[in-house]
A and B are shown apart, each in its own frame.
Chain A
Amino acid sequence: MTYRLGVDVGGTFTDLLMINNDGGHTYRTKVPSTPHDPSEAVVSGAQALCDEHGVSPGDIDLFMHGTTVATNAVLEGKGARVGLVVTEGYRQVLQIARSFVPGGLAAWIVWPKPKPMAALECTVEAPERMAADGSVVRPLDEARLRENLQALKSEGIEALTICLINSYLNDAHERQVAAICAEEFPDLPISVSADILPEMQEYERTLTTVTNSAVRPIVARYVGNLQSELTNWGMTGKLNLLRSDGGLMSAEKSAAAPVNLLMSGPAGGVAGALWVAQQAGIDNLLTLDMGGTSTDVALIEKSEARLRRETSVGDLTVRASSLDIRTVGAGGGSIAHVPELTRALRVGPESAGAVPGPVAYGRGGELPTVTDANVVLGYLPEALLGGTFKLDRDGAKAAVQTVADGLGIGLMEAAAGIIDIVNENMFGALRLVSVQQGYDPRDFALMGFGGAGPLHANAVGKLMQSWPVVIPPSPGVLCAYGDATTRMRVETARSFNKRFDDTTNAEMAALLEDMGAQVKADLAAEGVPKDEISVTYEVDIRYQGQAFEVPLAADKEMFDSGTGIEDMRAAFDTEHERLFTFNLGAPHEFVNVRATALGKPANVSAEEIETGNGDPIGAKMRDHTVWMDGQEKAAVIYDRSKLRSGDRVMGPAIIIEMDSTTLVLDGHSADIDRFGNILINPVEGE
């Protein structure tokens, strides 16, 4: 009997999910996170889970892990001190950046400029130059480079980055510089831009490579510790980490290219949603992962999560593929307020966080939050399941009353207003990943998870007209599901920049062949058997002169058989028309080419629950009253663990489980499927 273990480290809890590779039975637990060293909770949680179910560490063949170590290092400014080597004349590449000041007219007056990721005093120049056709303009002056590098020796740098102009076309100078740096700084990890991002645009390439350097020591330390503690415990299985693009990579690879881990945490949720949806037979899905301070949303089409070519964390945006997850600063802890000057109702982005938290939690919070509004409206019943934890409804009412007074409306109207605004914010984020990308949300289901997602999903689904609204089992640990069920992945990208007329099917086929072989070899090196590897290709195409490329899947056989270029032209025109409603007569241009190697998907299926008779009465806990649609309404509270497959719950209803609460609105019904998913739909004729 072998097992796979998925572990997701969150800010408050570390979630663990173990799946029996044979039959798919799952075991889960939650332990408090240990922020001083997150690996502590990971290992102790794994031990506890195994002990509880009599599983020996040697039976775990795959240990999969989503981590926010890299993310937090960036957000908290705790990245390593990075040295940077650039082409002569470009020392200030990060200082000047893209000259961009965010915000509207005159926003420069109040813009706080973030500090460069590599300090300017730690940036030195390499005397050399490549041209834009990859030829050498000036060879590297090694002696002067060594001289320049001496300035870094007193700066206490912990990692080194090399990014030279036009290296995406010819990396010879970068390699030369790297060799010299390795001699001068034998103990430092060195990141070379040609390895991390061989693409045009010097600022983005430099920033991405520097970011890789900045998180490298901390990730390497973390992964190293974790690996050795797991080995000491007796685990012999492989440790893999979840990449921002939803794939897995080996522990060794993550230590060298950690820039790919920046969205590891939220990617777990999307990967988990993807797996649950696949089991339930849903191909098109929007995800709504709502936590205490923020909400992540993403789009899955035909069982593929949409990717984007960049990763954003706080102010930082780097060119590393990530699932197209948009984040809004709206969560259960978001604070509602009424600014004096405009008398408008604002919710967030300020959050009460875990401490002091919402007023209803009774931990000293005094400002009204989204959670408090949910409590006031009766959506979060005062006594939660099985807990001694009781919500302070009177406190929540008093806090929301301040908003009501500010707006000159009633308490319930104010509470409902707070919920409407926060739902609207999430609606806005979901539109970014759907409508704005040319997708019709009515063709998608909506899955709500995370601590607060199930409370808001029905209302958001109504705004989006996305049905059914799906609440998966254990919505609070969905990330761990994702960690446990996704597959190994390696990706490489190259700038190509050729007009269709200037290339041939044969040239394209040869390029894809070469890149495919490269990613296949990389993935094999990470321990994936060759016969389990599949390779896919993607090309970015645009009308020559456009800034925006349309990424399209490409099939190597099409180029082999000589139709590839014409096929891509047709596919591009269709997609461009769908996105922007017009086509142009301008020449088509290939911009970037990517190859991705994927390991075999996990062969685990979800566990089925008992079948009931359609009547949820056995799960009923008690009657309840909620405020909905401008009036008080009778509702019923159910215990989720007692609901059976085929049961139908009519709204208004509240379904409670250990880590989450689901709200079913009036005029909607909730069906329980055989995997225990709650599927909410509007009732016909309402």
Chain B
Amino acid sequence: MAANIIETNPQPFNPCNVDPVTLDILENALKNARIEMDATLIRTAMSPGIREQGDAFPLIADHNGKMVVGQFGSFIDGFLRQYDGDIEDGDVIWLSDPYSCEGAISHNNDWLILLPIFRDGRLIAWAAMFGHQTDVGGKVPGSLPTDAGSIFQEGVRIPPVKIFRKGEYQSDLVELVINQVRMPEWCRSDLNALIASCRMAERRVHEMCERFGDDIYVAATDELLARNHRAMSQLINTTVAEEKLSFTDYLCDDGRGYGPYKIHCTMWREGNKVILDFDGTDPQSASSINFYLNENMFKMFFGIYMIMVFDPQIMFNDGFYDLVDVRIPQGSLLKPKFPAALSCRTHGLGRIFDILGGLLGQRQPEFLNAAGFSSSPHLMFSGFDRNDEWFQLFQIGFGGVPGRPFGDGPDGHSMWPGFTNVPNEFLERYFPMRIERYETVPDSGGAGLNRGGNGINMVYHFTETGTISIHDDRWFTYPWGVNGGEPGMRSRKILKRKDGSEEILGAKIDEIDVHEGDELHYITWGGGGWGDPLDRDPELVATEVKQGLVTTEGARAYGVVISASGDVDRGATEALRAEMRGARGELPVFNHGRPIEDLRASCEVETGLPAPIQPRW
């Protein structure tokens, strides 16, 4: 089964040499086109998830489907392998079924538009963009049921279909899908925005071809891929060892009380090639935390991390793909079998980045980052307001960026590209709620020479009755510190009812009713610390105490004693630091807090929630 691309012009592109200046000009033009795709999307989309938070990902690929610019890597070849049909000039593909594209998108909420760009009867490029829809139907508002047992509970699942067929818009198809969702106007608008954004790229590619010629354009994209291949090959040879390195991290629970789930990856080099092998990762979950990881997407993550850690100057694209071999066991958490539920994959997606960081930094601890806010916690709040109008909020939260070789991790910031928070005044204007507190949690960032960023405490005061869902993780395991840095604090959610009663909410729950006057304290986790906290400048610690980012008690983790006046007590600080240095052994590269069994034993006391049960397969 493979797509059949119909080109009316059989003549192949002429291979030609591209002078370096033209190449650089085209590189820039492509980068600009990508930026324009984002700009178009944000201006015309409607759901706050896309328009305010930027949960959408563009790319421009060459005629073979290899990404030339973009950031989530090319998933086009996966689609082409699986699609059984013709693709011709004027067609635009729309899909949301992860199983139809080898996990190029990983849950039904992500709608993907694929636009083949034809010129004079030949396929010359692809534009693609996917964006997270606030709702695609299914059993709960937001379409991310924390306890789903199969993908059939997770809303409308769109196989690859032609939303434009030879230039003809298929409105019946759109109406069929829109009828399944709870927020039709947002979906319709966001879908339009995705298409408009790809059209923008299409226009730009045509302009480039007109200016330089089709053959030059194609040769230039080849050369841009080759340039990346050369740079990455050098980087891989100098930074990845032939000996095997492994790293393990966990997802805390699966929304049904089982956990933690292990993700394990081993990396080594054979000649020019890096192998990333997920053997040892736990089998798939019966619930919805499975993360269908596309191999090419993981190659891209790997490439970007290599580049950011070792040499941020390199422009990344798909050029280096054949230098990386990704192996994911069938039936595992990262390659579940159809029809496994996939909607709550965000935690796995995030955790993958901690794993990459942990793997790549092991040989060069000076490049190692701590564990951080490697997920995007969600809050859903929906219901009918007093005018009987349906409201539905999908909000992504943020927390502590980890301590870095570069410096402290920013407090309450996003690790996802382009994401921003939603202004609280906007939330209050359009949803029945008040945000009573919006601040970071002192001491939640792990202590270190470079402190981990603090998590956020966001207090929602509800002014109408509605239903909430929560998606979060790292409530059970700690965001680890590195090179002597301490772990960050874990997340927690407290619901304070109007009558004064209080309950601790689980990290992954649906269908909690709230009423006017109830308050939800949504507390995200902090980033791990980097380097020895006893080396941090005591004056800086004192300033952060004054700023409310660290408490007087928390300062002691840095061996710093703060006097009643708020200044550093020099003598006491020296004494405390000497005592702490004497009492501790050699500093570990990774500090995970405590072993899983200890965490389990003290879970209920510390978190207010029962310990997750070890899953059995």
List the interface of chain A (C-beta within 8 A of B).
Answer: 89-93, 95-101, 103-113, 119-121, 129, 131-132, 137, 165-166, 168, 200-204, 339, 341-346, 407, 409, 413, 416-417, 420-421, 424-425, 428, 431, 436, 497, 543, 545-548, 579-582, 584, 586
> Do residues B44 and A339 form an inter-chain contact, with CB atoms below 8 A?
no
- State A196–B188 Cα separation when bound (angstroms): 37
> Do residues A101 and B21 form an inter-chain contact, with CB atoms below 8 A?
no
The segment from B82-90, B108-116, B284-292, B421-429 that touches chain A is B421-429
Q: Does B337 touch A at the CB level, under 8 Å?
A: no
Q: Does B75 touch A at the CB level, under 8 Å?
A: no
B422-440 at interface with A (beta carbon < 8 Å): 423-426, 428-429, 434-440
> Do residues A120 and B549 form an inter-chain contact, with CB atoms below 8 A?
yes
> Do residues B20 and A548 form an inter-chain contact, with CB atoms below 8 A?
no
In this complex, the member of A342, A546, A582, A584 whose beta carbon has the largest number of chain B beta carbons within 10 angstroms is: A342
> Do residues A436 and B20 form an inter-chain contact, with CB atoms below 8 A?
no
Q: Does B546 touch A at the CB level, under 8 Å?
A: yes
* Extra inter-chain contacts (9) besides given A92-B440, A113-B407, A546-B44, CB under 8 Å: A90-B438, A92-B412, A93-B438, A98-B423, A110-B312, A121-B546, A345-B21, A421-B25, A584-B192
- State A582–B309 Cα separation when bound (angstroms): 42
Residues of A within 8 A of B47 (CB): 545
- State A407–B308 Cα separation when bound (angstroms): 25
> Do residues A166 and B189 form an inter-chain contact, with CB atoms below 8 A?
no
Q: Report if A112-B406 is in contact (Cβ < 8 Å); known contacts: A90-B438, A105-B417.
A: yes
Residues of B within 8 A of A580 (CB): 40, 43-44, 196
Contact of B304 among A105, A119, A413, A428 (CB under 8 A): A105
Q: Does B563 touch A at the CB level, under 8 Å?
A: no
Contact of A581 among B196, B311, B440, B459 (CB under 8 A): B196
> Do residues B425 and A132 form an inter-chain contact, with CB atoms below 8 A?
yes
> Do residues B46 and A586 form an inter-chain contact, with CB atoms below 8 A?
yes
Contact of A582 among B196, B234, B438 (CB under 8 A): B196
Residues of A within 8 A of B43 (CB): 546-548, 579-580
Q: Does B456 touch A at the CB level, under 8 Å?
A: yes
CB distance from B89 to the nearest CB of A (A): 19
> Do residues B32 and A428 form an inter-chain contact, with CB atoms below 8 A?
yes
Q: Report if A548-B406 is in contact (Cβ < 8 Å); known contacts: A89-B436, A100-B420, A108-B415.
A: no
> Do residues A110 and B192 form an inter-chain contact, with CB atoms below 8 A?
no
Q: Report if A420-B25 is in contact (Cβ < 8 Å); known contacts: A93-B438, A132-B428.
A: yes
A-B pairs, 4 with minimum CB distance: A548-B43, A89-B437, A547-B51, A132-B428
Q: Does B39 touch A at the CB level, under 8 Å?
A: yes
Which residue of chain A is the closest to B423 with respect to CB atoms?
A201
Residues of B within 8 A of A201 (CB): 423, 425-426
Contact of B21 among A417, A425, A543 (CB under 8 A): A417
Some 9 contacts from A to B, beta carbons below 8 A apart, are A91-B548, A96-B421, A98-B421, A100-B414, A106-B308, A108-B413, A108-B414, A584-B188, A586-B189
> Do residues A91 and B434 form an inter-chain contact, with CB atoms below 8 A?
no
B70-85 at interface with A (beta carbon < 8 Å): 71-72
> Do residues B413 and A101 form an inter-chain contact, with CB atoms below 8 A?
yes
A-B contacts, CB under 8 A, total: 216
> Do residues B231 and A342 form an inter-chain contact, with CB atoms below 8 A?
yes
Q: Does B401 touch A at the CB level, under 8 Å?
A: yes
> Do residues A341 and B314 form an inter-chain contact, with CB atoms below 8 A?
yes
CB distance from B445 to the nearest CB of A (A): 12
CB distance from A431 to the nearest CB of B (A): 7
Residues of A within 8 A of B308 (CB): 106-107, 109-110
Q: Report if A104-B25 is in contact (Cβ < 8 Å); known contacts: A121-B543, A342-B313, A545-B185.
A: no
Contact of B417 among A92, A104, A345, A497 (CB under 8 A): A104
> Do residues B24 and A346 form an inter-chain contact, with CB atoms below 8 A?
yes
> Do residues A546 and B46 form an inter-chain contact, with CB atoms below 8 A?
yes
> Do residues B411 and A98 form an inter-chain contact, with CB atoms below 8 A?
no
Q: Does B236 touch A at the CB level, under 8 Å?
A: no
Q: Does B261 touch A at the CB level, under 8 Å?
A: no
Q: Report if A547-B42 is in contact (Cβ < 8 Å); known contacts: A121-B546, A409-B20.
A: yes
Q: Does B199 touch A at the CB level, under 8 Å?
A: yes
Q: Does B179 touch A at the CB level, under 8 Å?
A: no
> Do residues B20 and A131 form an inter-chain contact, with CB atoms below 8 A?
no
Which residue of chain A is the closest to B301 with respect to CB atoms?
A105
Scoring B residues 291 to 311 as 1 if CB is less than 8 Å from chain A, else 0, what string do you get?
Answer: 000000000010011011101
CB distance from B348 to the nearest CB of A (A): 16
Q: Report if A424-B415 is in contact (Cβ < 8 Å); known contacts: A109-B404, A165-B425.
A: no
Which residue of chain B is the closest to A116 with respect to CB atoms?
B547
CB distance from B237 to the nearest CB of A (A): 13
Contact of A344 among B27, B410, B425, B435 (CB under 8 A): B27
Residues of A within 8 A of B315 (CB): 342
CB distance from A141 to the nearest CB of B (A): 15
Which residue of chain B is the closest to A346 with respect to CB atoms?
B24
Contact of A421 among B21, B301, B415, B548 (CB under 8 A): B21
Residues of A within 8 A of B549 (CB): 95, 120
> Do residues B424 and A165 form an inter-chain contact, with CB atoms below 8 A?
yes
Which residue of chain B is the closest to A204 with respect to CB atoms?
B423
> Do residues A202 and B456 form an inter-chain contact, with CB atoms below 8 A?
no
Residues of B within 8 A of A99 (CB): 398, 412-414, 419-421
Which residue of chain A is the closest to B527 with respect to CB atoms?
A108
CB distance from A159 to the nearest CB of B (A): 19
Contact of B20 among A92, A93, A165, A407 (CB under 8 A): A407
Residues of A within 8 A of B497 (CB): none
Contact of B419 among A100, A342, A343 (CB under 8 A): A100
Q: Does B369 touch A at the CB level, under 8 Å?
A: yes
- State A269–B413 Cα separation when bound (angstroms): 38
- State A526–B27 Cα separation when bound (angstroms): 51
B141-200 at interface with A (beta carbon < 8 Å): 185-186, 188-189, 192, 196, 199
> Do residues A547 and B45 form an inter-chain contact, with CB atoms below 8 A?
yes
> Do residues B24 and A546 form an inter-chain contact, with CB atoms below 8 A?
no
> Do residues B438 and A341 form an inter-chain contact, with CB atoms below 8 A?
no
Q: Report if A96-B412 is in contact (Cβ < 8 Å); known contacts: A110-B312, A548-B44.
A: yes
Residues of B within 8 A of A579 (CB): 43
Residues of B within 8 A of A204 (CB): 423
- State A95–B369 Cα separation when bound (angstroms): 22
- State A341–B425 Cα separation when bound (angstroms): 47
Residues of A within 8 A of B196 (CB): 580-582
Q: Does B227 touch A at the CB level, under 8 Å?
A: yes
Q: Does B464 touch A at the CB level, under 8 Å?
A: no
Residues of B within 8 A of A131 (CB): 428, 434
CB distance from A563 to the nearest CB of B (A): 27
Residues of B within 8 A of A129 (CB): 434, 436
- State A20–B415 Cα separation when bound (angstroms): 59
Residues of A within 8 A of B20 (CB): 343-345, 407, 409, 417
- State A344–B21 Cα separation when bound (angstroms): 8
Which residue of chain B is the closest to A463 with respect to CB atoms?
B211
- State A36–B417 Cα separation when bound (angstroms): 41
Q: Does B576 touch A at the CB level, under 8 Å?
A: no
- State A341–B238 Cα separation when bound (angstroms): 13
Which residue of chain A is the closest to B413 with respect to CB atoms?
A99
> Do residues A543 and B189 form an inter-chain contact, with CB atoms below 8 A?
yes
- State A98–B44 Cα separation when bound (angstroms): 20
- State A110–B401 Cα separation when bound (angstroms): 12
> Do residues A342 and B227 form an inter-chain contact, with CB atoms below 8 A?
yes
Which residue of chain A is the closest to B408 with respect to CB atoms?
A113
